[in-house]
Amino acid sequence: MAKQFLKTIKYFTIMKNAQQIVLASRPKGVPTIDNFTTATVQLPALTRQQVLLQGLYYSVDPYMRGRMNDAKSYVPPFALNQPIQGGVVARVLQSTSDRFVAGNFVLGNLPWQETMVAAEADINKIDETLAPPAYYLGILGMPGLTAYFGLLHIGKPQPGETVVVSGAAGAVGVVVGQIAKIKGCHVVGIAGTDNKVALLKNTFGFDEAINYKTETDMRQAIKKACPNGVDVYFDNVGGEISDAVIANINFHARIPLCGQISLYNSTGAPVGPRLQPMLLTRSVLMQGFIVSNFSNQFAEALKQLAKWVTEGKLQYTQTTLHGFNKLPEALIGLFSGNNTGKMIVEA
Ligand code: NDP
């Protein structure tokens, strides 16, 4: 009896305190482990329409680097000494909400905290019977939607056209290439290791792939991989890789400008070729976008992505680090290409 009582006390003590990972300082250049620290917080009691959540899978994403700066952007910066926030798949432990019961799997933009109290309005149920829960941070989540809208709504690939994607072996890139194959295109990926190049060709069905770290003449390599020129360039990385692709761009090409990861840790203003003459004389459309621009069409896109996944037309992979305290390492690892597919931390 006494033993059971002590166990119960321990349970409530554990549940009422939660570990979180907070931003300790703002990075200069590539983030380091020292930019993060852990803190313990007390969980408040549930009030109406709230849930107690246990974090299961945490997403790390390149855009978080921008939020570590104290700079104006499309999302506010992370505050110092406050938890980092991002996509989290969690399990409901307790609920005062009519919409959720204990055991439900949910997705939300939530703090890096092991257990947390969330308002019902900040989370959505996910169907864990349709796909593994972590897929909702990748192919059936923000990266999948980014690939879908950037490629189909801006890139508008036509059968027989050539589509090049940089950051090709990452969360967004592998989906872009496969959707372009579904649309009947010649697809070329650019990635940073020979293993990634092999995976793109052998598992994800890319026609060609180039290792930008070992290739000495990227312009020539792209020319060789794209004998008919480049009709759609899905730009995930920017910098010199993009300069080399754009040197091979076709008349009336489309460039969905999705990410510029090669510049996220720059400390000075990057200088490159002036692209406007090329865009002008070849009537090229280059359009930046943020996936949330398309939020009113997410439901329809997720239905299509899920259909392709269940039909086996879209393959997916992820790199999983195990342990809540691996979150900083996982985020930093994105900038040296430690991930293949979506980078996830399983708590
Ligand atoms: P990834 O899963 O692709 O991970 C990042 C990858 O970028 C790494 O694995 C690495 O692969 C590559 N990389 C890192 N540093 C460099 C560099 N200096 N030069 C070239 N490649 C580099 O991330 P995501 O798929 O989640 O995101 C891809 C891009 O899309 C990012 O730029 C991100 O910011 C952007 N994005 C934009 C969104 C929008 O709404 N516009 C939404 C989601 C993502 P490698 O080994 O090949 O170098």
In this model, does residue 15 exceed pLDDT 90? no
- Find where tokens 């939607």 sit: 145
Residue with the larger pLDDT of the pair 211 and 9 = 211
Distance CA 332, CA 32 (A): 7
Residue 238 Cβ inside 6 Å of ligand 1? The answer reads no
Average of pLDDT values for 272-283?
95
Reduced to 3 states (helix: H, G, I; strand: E, B; else coil), residue 53 is: strand
For residue 143, the ligand 1 atom closest to its alpha carbon is: 43
Total-model pTM: 0.95
196, 173 in Cβ contact below 8 A?
A: no
Q: For residue 175, which of 298, 308, 289 has the smallest C-alpha distance?
A: 308
By alpha-carbon position, which residue is closest to atom 33 of ligand 1? 259
By alpha-carbon position, which residue is closest to atom 28 of ligand 1? 236
In this model, does residue 8 exceed pLDDT 70? no
Read off the pLDDT of residues 207-243 as tens digits, 9 standing for 90 and up.
Answer: 999 999 999 999 999 999 999 999 999 999 999 999 9
Residue 25 Cβ inside 6 Å of ligand 1? The answer reads no
Q: What is the Å distance from ligand 1's center to 259 Cα?
A: 7
Q: What is the Å distance from ligand 1's center to 2 Cα?
A: 54
Distance CA 2, CA 246 (A): 72
